[in-house]
Amino acid sequence: KNEVEQSPQNLTAQEGEFITINCSYSVGISALHWLQQHPGGGIVSLFMLSSGKKKHGRLIATINIQEKHSSLHITASHPRDSAVYICAAFTGNQFYFGTGTSLTVIP
Amino acid sequence: GAGVSQSPSNKVTEKGKDVELRCDPISGHTALYWYRQSLGQGLEFLIYFQGNSAPDKSGLPSDRFSAERTGGSVSTLTIQRTQQEDSAVYLCASSQDRVYGYTFGSGTRLTVV
């Protein structure tokens, strides 16, 4: 069993839809990261969470420490949101990565 | 191995000493990134290698930091005259061509005492 599980693996949405990507982890963490990678592009750090909720533009990330679960939400999705989204659990000593969620937003 | 390997996994060094951190990417991966995670901070980009092109060094925090990639494969991140603020987990990631996604190493925890 992987230390970090993401779902779904692939997601196709219509422009404007509300999107949720889920991440469950089994290790003790000091922080949970959400990363984004566009095709042909580099890795962008979207959020680092240790509790509660963070919002940046149309992106919202939440974490429930007791349930060891985090979600990344995208409101009013747009084709430029199409990317791979990666959840990473940071224990303080090392990282554990999810396999990523490939999101395609269709105009 | 099948994944990205980083060594050492943990390193404790005295302030002022030089350290070398190593990243063995997946064979055939042309793109390689170094990041670091400092206490309470987000992931910080350090340097990016793509094939034989000149590396993007725009993230290196000072001239004490340097990195090289020999033969387009193994990369070494060198920190000279380490300072306590260099303490962090240093993370390496590699990709075939930036299209198919990155594979990450598990990181090297550096502690400067």
**How confident is the model at residue B21, as a pLDDT?**
98
Residue A44's pLDDT is 81
Question: Which chain B positions have a beta carbon within 8 Å of A82's beta carbon?
Answer: none
Kindly report, residue by residue over B7-19, the tens digit of the pLDDT.
Answer: 999 999 999 999 9
Residue corresponding to tokens 């084709």: A79
CA distance B45 to chain A (A): 9
Question: Which B residues in the span 56-85 are in contact with A, Cβ-Cβ below 8 Å?
Answer: none
Mutation pick from B21, B98, B109, B111 vs chain A, by most beta carbons of A within 10 Å, is B98
Q: Cα angle at B95 between A106 and A83, to 5 degrees? A: 15
Mean pLDDT of chain A: 91
Asked if B11 reaches chain A (Cβ–Cβ under 8 Å), the answer is no
Per-residue model confidence (pLDDT) at position A63: 97
Cβ pair A97:B101 closer than 8 A: no
Please give the full DSSP string across B51-101, using - where no structure is assigned: TTSPPB-TT--STTEEEEEGGGS-EEEEESS--GGG-EEEEEEEESSSSS-
Note the pLDDT tens digit of each residue in B74-108.
999 999 999 999 999 999 988 886 555 678 888 89
Predicted pLDDT of residue A2: 83
- Contact criterion met (CB below 8 Å) for A63 and B69: no
Q: Do B107 and A33 touch (CB under 8 A)?
A: no
Mean per-residue pLDDT, A34-40: 82
Three state DSSP letters for A12-66 = EEECCCCEEEEEEECCCCCEEEEEEECCCCCEEEEEEECCEEEEECCEEEEEECC
Residues of A in contact with B106 (CB under 8 A): 94-96
Contact B9 A94 (CB under 8 A): yes
For chains A and B, CB pairs below 8 A equal: 50
Express each pLDDT in A62-75 by its tens digit: 999 999 999 999 99
